[in-house]
Amino acid sequence: MPVDRTIQPEVRNIEHLAVQMPRRSVMPNGVSLNVLDSGDNEVVRIDLLMEGGRWQQSRPLQALFTNRMLREGTRRYNALHIAEKLDYYGAWLELSIASEYAYITLYSLNKYLPQTLEILESIVKEPVFPEKELGIIIDNNIQQFLVNSSKVDFLAHRALMEAVYGKEHPCGRLVQKDDYGRINPAVLQEFYDRHYHSCNCTIYVSGKVSDDCIRRIEDLFGKEAFGRDFRKPEKKDFIPASSADKRIFVEYADAMQSAVRMGTLSLERNHPDYLKTRVMVTLFGGYFGSRLMSNIREEKGYTYGISAGIVPYPGKGMLVVNTETANEFVEPLIQEVYHEIDRLQNELVPEDELSMVKNYMLGEMCRSYESAFSLADAWIFVQVSGFGDTHFEDALNAVKEITPEDIRELAGRHLCKEKLKEVISGKKMS
């Protein structure tokens, strides 16, 4: 029977989120193993989390380059051998860092897992940080840094981070060109020895996970201790020191348009208002139909896109409004942002608008937990954020239960116009 396209599909209410729990164990050497066996494809993903991000480094770029250089040479393989072997076996390696964690992620076909795990073991346990390869990567990164420094959005982002967090905070301690010259193999080896070891490691395995896969991981990463320094990193708390300046201007004379960033310190993730505030901020500027998009893009035509969101960091996160616009529209655009804040603080959101935001957020939740790899991402997020196992139900209930009155109260408490920094990067207008 053909579908009648003139009839709107029925919206189904989500009563419960059945998010698959990882199967957890602790291997003999103390490494936590989390298994998410789901899916039909003969592919597995292995994530190793090391508590060694920007928060733990003693100088800028140390954590980034330690992680980045793992694939550039080990005692068994040089960089070319690693790249060729991963390519030959159809595997993919991702290396990244965040505030408090470094991530080593391997995607592998199950039939080639013995070969790819051998490469992964060498990368994790015996990198050598070769000087020649490091020099090439540093040169490439300097060039990228210089290219980025000619972009108004990059300049505005840096200025906002420094203004909101202060120069002594990891978020506000901006990387400078000279910092690249202070990175050498000894600096990376020192950071590696302190943070890349079995007492500081958690492993997630997701995809079609066989007993053989688990056995091989246990043999390589779970039996004997690995690494040198087996102390757990100390938890570091950094106190933001926001600038007193309300407006910061970063001039870029050749800019065709200006980047505008507005931001202030936001809630810690364990704050009781956090989950519902995410709904309020989504309505404000977190999706295509948001208040900011409807007004500033659709009605006024000041920009192609504008967004608002809470960026989570350890301790206090940051509420950010982000856009680019023609130089002559900077001032009216900023005033419209404040106008939308006033509306949220003084008027009740119509039920149909709030319902649309709820349906959007619930749909995003469902999409986030539908595959094994997205499940792994979700549980890793729970771990690094310090949430409990009830986080998904808590987030669902926050979306379902929030009312127009809640939105108005939350906007009054957490959308403070006076605290919002205004950062503009572009051509100075006369």
Among candidate residues 182, 203, 221, the one where a domain is terminated = 221
Residue 161 and residue 280 in one domain: no
Torsion angle of the four alpha carbons 112, 113, 119, 122, in this order, in degrees rounded to the nearest 10: -160
* Residue 413, φ and ψ in degrees, nearest 5: -85, -35
- At residue 366, the pLDDT reads 84
Q: Is residue 302, in this structure, part of any structural domain at all?
A: yes
Residue 210 and residue 332 in one domain: no
- At residue 236, the pLDDT reads 83
Q: Is residue 181, in this structure, part of any structural domain at all?
A: yes
Residue 196 and residue 296 in one domain: no
Half-sphere exposure of 169 (CA within 13 A, CB side): 23
Sites in the chain below the pLDDT cut of 70: 1, 9-16, 430
144-171 core/surface letters (b: 16 or more CB in 10 A; e: else): eeeeeeeebbbbbbbbbbbbbbbeebbb
Residue 310 and residue 353 in one domain: yes
Number of structural domains the chain divides into = 2
- At residue 14, the pLDDT reads 66
By C-alpha distance, which of 182, 164, 252, 205 is closest to 33?
205
Domain harbouring 295, CATH code = 3.30.830.10
Residue 202 and residue 89 in one domain: yes
Residue 408 and residue 262 in one domain: yes
Q: Is residue 228, in this structure, part of any structural domain at all?
A: no
Q: Is residue 233, in this structure, part of any structural domain at all?
A: no
- At residue 31, the pLDDT reads 97
- At residue 71, the pLDDT reads 97
Note down the domain range covering 253.
Answer: 247-426
- At residue 253, the pLDDT reads 86
Residue 37 and residue 166 in one domain: yes
pTM tops 0.85, yes or no: yes
